[in-house]
Amino acid sequence: MDDYVVGVLSNIGVLAFLGLSAYLLLLTGEISFGQQAFFAIGAYAAGIATAIWGWPLAAGLLFGAAAGAAAALVVGVPTLRLHGLYFAIATLAFAEMVRLLFELLRYQVMIDGELVGPNGADGFRDIRYVFQNNIEPQQFLLVIYALLVAVLLGFALLERTRLGVSFRMIGVDYVLAQMHGVAVARHKLIAAGLAGALAGLGGGLYAHLTTYVEPRLFDVMLGVHSLAYGLIGGLGTALGPLLGVLIDIGLLESIRAFAGYRMIIFGGLVALLLIVRPRGLLDEILVHRIGGAWRRWWRRRAAKEAA
């Protein structure tokens, strides 16, 4: 694979974590404009861990995910009783606060005669773990997708557990879920924490992929994009956000021929798609139908083999 393809695929993989993070909250019926904050926190935490403290990559990524989860829990408690637009704007306000605080954050240490660390609005340069340890871009791509597959398997498991069913119940109607004995508050906190960890992990990967992060990368635009991924790809399965990222980046990369009209075509296509499929391409109904067809086919084959 040439470097261009590896680069695009790496980007798709990393952004999928952010899309999945927003998707998890969408499952519980909440719109968050603020998942980019946990992405940023994960990126900075993992970057500081490997570049300044000299931790290995795995420990740094884990630290990024933990930092994302911790921040999500801290903001999850006061916003617990907010819904809909109120929740969305509260998360937006929080995310903007985080971004502005990173513009003030200065924590630089002299390493090998060079200042390394976050330098306010100028960003955090030289997160060079991947480069220094001679990890090829292809190998790092493998790391990203191995983690992504693990997360997707986790989602597949989640859909089969009580926890996942409770999430979807809360998403459909939280009052009804409460009446059926689902502990809504606790489940929403769990969802927020998991979503924060996912975004944090993605942020850690992002920081090591690009070797450079700055606060203005993590603005509202990124947050709304991450929401859009789930809604374009579909809310029926965790593959939806991944499909959304694929469509976003893949389509944008492939219609380069239309240079100046890219966003006009893409924006229009998304708007038209959402009229036809308001819950995305892979929505619940389609996923259910595919699942049913698959099971029928499987049963028929088993019956044929038995006969």
Contact residues for another protein, defined by CB under 8 A: 26, 31, 78-79, 81-86, 88-90, 93-94, 96-97, 100-101, 103-104, 220-221, 224, 227-228, 231-232, 260-264, 266-268, 270-271, 274-275, 278-279
Provide the minimum distance between the beta carbon of 198 and another protein in the complex, in angstroms, as a whole number. Answer: 20
Residue 83 or 128 with smaller CB distance to another protein? 83
Residue 66 or 252 with smaller CB distance to another protein? 252
The helix (run of H) or strand (run of E) holding residue 111 is strand 109-111
Q: What angle do CA 168, 247, 153 make, to 5 degrees?
A: 45
Residue 179 or 307 with smaller CB distance to another protein? 179
Residue 135 or 273 with smaller CB distance to another protein? 273
CA atoms in the 13 A half-sphere facing the CB of 273 = 20
Using CB atoms within 10 A of its CB, is residue 255 exposed (0-12), middle (13-18) or buried (19+)? Answer: middle
Residue 257 DSSP one-character state: G
Residue 135 or 270 with smaller CB distance to another protein? 270
Residue 212 or 266 with smaller CB distance to another protein? 266
63: which 2 tokens?
A: 């630290």
Provide the minimum distance between the beta carbon of 271 and another protein in the complex, in angstroms, as a whole number. Answer: 5
First CA to last CA distance, the chain = 47
Provide the minimum distance between the beta carbon of 77 and another protein in the complex, in angstroms, as a whole number. Answer: 10
Provide the minimum distance between the beta carbon of 220 and another protein in the complex, in angstroms, as a whole number. Answer: 7
Provide the minimum distance between the beta carbon of 71 and another protein in the complex, in angstroms, as a whole number. Answer: 14
Query: What crossing angle do the helices spanning 3-27 and 35-51 adopt, rounded to 10°?
Result: 130
* Alpha-carbon span 197 to 18, nearest angstrom: 10
Provide the minimum distance between the beta carbon of 258 and another protein in the complex, in angstroms, as a whole number. Answer: 11
Residue 38 or 129 with smaller CB distance to another protein? 38
b/e code 232-253 from CB counts within 10 Å (16+ = b): bbbbbbbbbbbbbbbbbbeeee
b/e code 152-182 from CB counts within 10 Å (16+ = b): beebeebbeeeebebbbbbbeebeebeeeeb
Residue type, 294: W
Provide the minimum distance between the beta carbon of 135 and another protein in the complex, in angstroms, as a whole number. Answer: 35
